[in-house]
Amino acid sequence: MVANDCLVDSVLFCGGLLCGTACAVAGYVYVAVINPAYNVHGSYTTPIVIMAFVMGVFISGMATTVISAGTKAMLVCITRDPYHSYCADPQLAKDLAQTRPEVFSIMSAASAEYTLIKTRIEGNVGVVELHRPKALNALCTDLFRELNDALARFDQDKNIGAVVLTGSGTRAFAAGADIKEMKDKDFVTNYTKGFLNLWTEQIDRMRKPIIAAVNGYALGGGCELAMMCDIIYAGEKAVFGQPEINLGIIPGAGGTQRLVHAIGKAKAMEMVLTGNAKLTAKEAEAAGLVARIFPIESLVEEAIKIAQEIASKSQPSVQMAKEAVNAAFEMPLSSGLRFERRLFQALFATKDQKEGMAAFAEKRKPNFTHE
């Protein structure tokens, strides 16, 4: 960025000088050649040339503001990298991307720089891999900063219809929150700084579906992170557990709530109170926590395939369907049914509903435009 900024500013500075010189030459030509009668004593030449130069620089200065903004915006579009081509302070840009994701909506997460996660795009699907293999992808503040940033960008990217979240390697999705980072925390700081709030805010407000592909351990915060997603697929060796009680704490991001909804009170209570009762992939599937099990080597590929299928549908319908299903956790049945009915009725205002039904009647595939 700094390099690009310097380049842009140098070009504009030279442009200013050139513009000033051109005006000075024009002034000289006017008083000395075109209209010498105006300057009979020759005494106006120097002041007029100087004034013309100053005016030229001033005019180019005003133009600079406009051109500079335009040029830098163009650089963002071309390089698709606002952290390093747009803003002089990459950390500031990252903070801004987190608090104001819409500012970076033209950018894709696939081109951003991360160290604790890896991202890529496969067709219309954004893929995020938690990447701390030596710590079994333990979840720390910096990892969540990157994860939230990537998710916000995928949510803003209109070419992305769904996201797959997985862990690097085959041993772990995530072995929980980073115990070494957490061990010295205290109540007052946790409370006043809202520990965990920032971690979970972005994933909670995602409009697009997220599929968790759980390849190995999903323990503590890892299990909770998987449950924050909309669908969980498991590799054959996946293990789900809430071992927090063994550390003198309890689950803090859904382990006592979402788990109960997913597998019922008895199993959830056993897992949370003993910390040692874990679910294998098969048990998790039987209990309803996991939608399907795949061989470990094809897990992510299969998850991406299903995410691509979801991404190929009308995005307004997919997002409303997600909202309606999630409402079942929050609302009494009668309110949930009313909410569902309103969304159902509203979808008849979309072009995709017309297209979907016309395509069925004409025996062809629908071409959704997400409008």
Q: Which residues bind ligand CO8 (CB under 6 A)?
A: 135-136, 138-139, 175-180, 196, 199, 217, 219-221, 224-225, 243-244, 247, 252-253
Minimum CB separation of residue 239 from ligand CO8 in Å reads 8
Minimum CB separation of residue 97 from ligand CO8 in Å reads 20
Counting DSSP H helices and E strands in the chain, the numbers are: 16, 10
Minimum CB separation of residue 289 from ligand CO8 in Å reads 16
Nearer to ligand CO8, 180 or 205 (CB): 180
Instruction: Indicate the length of the chain as a whole number.
Output: 371
- Active-site residue identified among 16, 126, 152, 224: 224
**d(C-alpha 197, C-alpha 211), whole Å:** 21
- Active-site residue identified among 97, 109, 172, 177: 177
Using alpha carbons, list the distances in angstroms from residue 60 to 5, 172, 220: 18, 58, 60
Minimum CB separation of residue 234 from ligand CO8 in Å reads 16
> One-letter amino acid identity for 126?
G
Nearer to ligand CO8, 154 or 217 (CB): 217
**d(C-alpha 90, C-alpha 102), whole Å:** 17
Whether 27 sits among the annotated catalytic residues: the reply is: no
Strand partners, 165: 128, 212
Whether 177 sits among the annotated catalytic residues: the reply is: yes
Burial class (CB in 10 A: 0-12, 13-18, 19+), 181: middle
Nearer to ligand CO8, 49 or 136 (CB): 136
- Are 166 and 133 in contact by the 8 Å Cβ rule? The answer is no
Nearer to ligand CO8, 224 or 352 (CB): 224
Backbone angles phi, psi at 59, to 5 degrees: -65, -40
Minimum CB separation of residue 230 from ligand CO8 in Å reads 16
- Active-site residue identified among 244, 285, 302, 340: 244
Nearer to ligand CO8, 31 or 226 (CB): 226
**d(C-alpha 116, C-alpha 132), whole Å:** 6
Minimum CB separation of residue 101 from ligand CO8 in Å reads 20
Whether 283 sits among the annotated catalytic residues: the reply is: no
Minimum CB separation of residue 318 from ligand CO8 in Å reads 25
- Active-site residue identified among 20, 221, 222, 254: 221
Strands (E), 46-124: 117-122
Buried (b) or exposed (e) across 281-315, using 16+ Cβ within 10 A?
bebbbebebbbebbebeebbebbbebbbebbbbbb
Whether 236 sits among the annotated catalytic residues: the reply is: no
The DSSP string of 252-290 is -SSTTTHHHHHH-HHHHHHHHHHS---EEHHHHHHHTS-
Nearer to ligand CO8, 122 or 270 (CB): 270
Buried (b) or exposed (e) across 40-75, using 16+ Cβ within 10 A?
eeeeeeeebbeebbeebbeebeeebeeeeeebbeeb
Nearer to ligand CO8, 31 or 136 (CB): 136
**d(C-alpha 365, C-alpha 358), whole Å:** 10
**d(C-alpha 24, C-alpha 55), whole Å:** 9
Positions annotated as catalytic residues are 177, 221, 224, 244
